[in-house]
Amino acid sequence: MNLNFLLPKQPMFYVYFSEYGDCIKDIATLFHKLIKEYKNFEDYARQAEEIEHQGDKITRKIIDRLNRSIITPLDREDIHLIARKTDMIIDLTENVISNICLYKLDNKVSGVNEFGEIIYRDSRYVSELLGQMKIQKYTPKIKEMVKKIHRLEDVGDELFEKSMLKLFNDVKDPILIIKWKDILEDLELITDKCKNISNIIEGVMIKSS
């Protein structure tokens, strides 16, 4: 039996999901700007850390409300999973920005600009999906956004392989190779996690419909 009629029209969990979406857009936009400007690394790292802290605060609010709620609009496990996976995207993006500053990587390698564009687009779709959850219904719009995120993940996989090949061919310093390999792996992982969270949201929305 569907008990949605017993729940408040705007439960706070959906507000938190929208806040997560804003954080993902903000940190992806920050990374996008960093890759274009490619200077003032410490300032970007500081801003990324602030956004990451905002994400942590949302996670704590969700866990606290889960502990205090008798009835939730979605399965408790699904809410916790969405929170954990979304927070991971924010953490990974912050880690990339921080490491570019920490490693003092003055020159970009092949693929970084393209990953900046992919992650920027991914963030918009993931944010929109999180905002759509309050509808509690699987819609054609949700289906289409999930498809777009899947296509971006495919592009990210191909880009990662090409970027790694070019890294090993073009860069001679082994320490520099290790540093950029670490960052490229995180960038590819971000696209994987965006696909992962889109699959989770799609599954939750199908169950809620």
pLDDT of residue 31 exceeding 50, the answer is yes
pLDDT, residue 7, reads 47
**The CATH homologous superfamily of the domain defined by 10-208:** Phosphate transport system protein phou homolog 2; domain 2 (1.20.58.220)
Rounded to whole angstroms, how far apart are CA atoms 189 and 114?
Answer: 14
Please give the pLDDT value at position 30. 98
Average pLDDT of the residues in 152-159: 98
Rounded Cα distance between 49 and 55, Å, is 10
Residues 6+ apart with CB under 8 A from 156: 115, 118, 187, 188, 191, 192
pTM (2 decimals)?
A: 0.92
**Helices assigned H by DSSP within the chain:** 12-37, 41-68, 76-102, 112-132, 140-170, 174-208
Q: What digits encode the pLDDT tens for the residues 14-26?
A: 999 999 999 999 9
Domain ranges of the chain: 10-208
Amino acid 71: pLDDT: 83
Residue 43 sits at the vertex; the CA angle it makes with 24 and 128, to the nearest 5 degrees, is 10
Assign 69 a pLDDT band (cuts: 50, 70, 90).
confident
Q: Which amino acid is at 191?
A: T
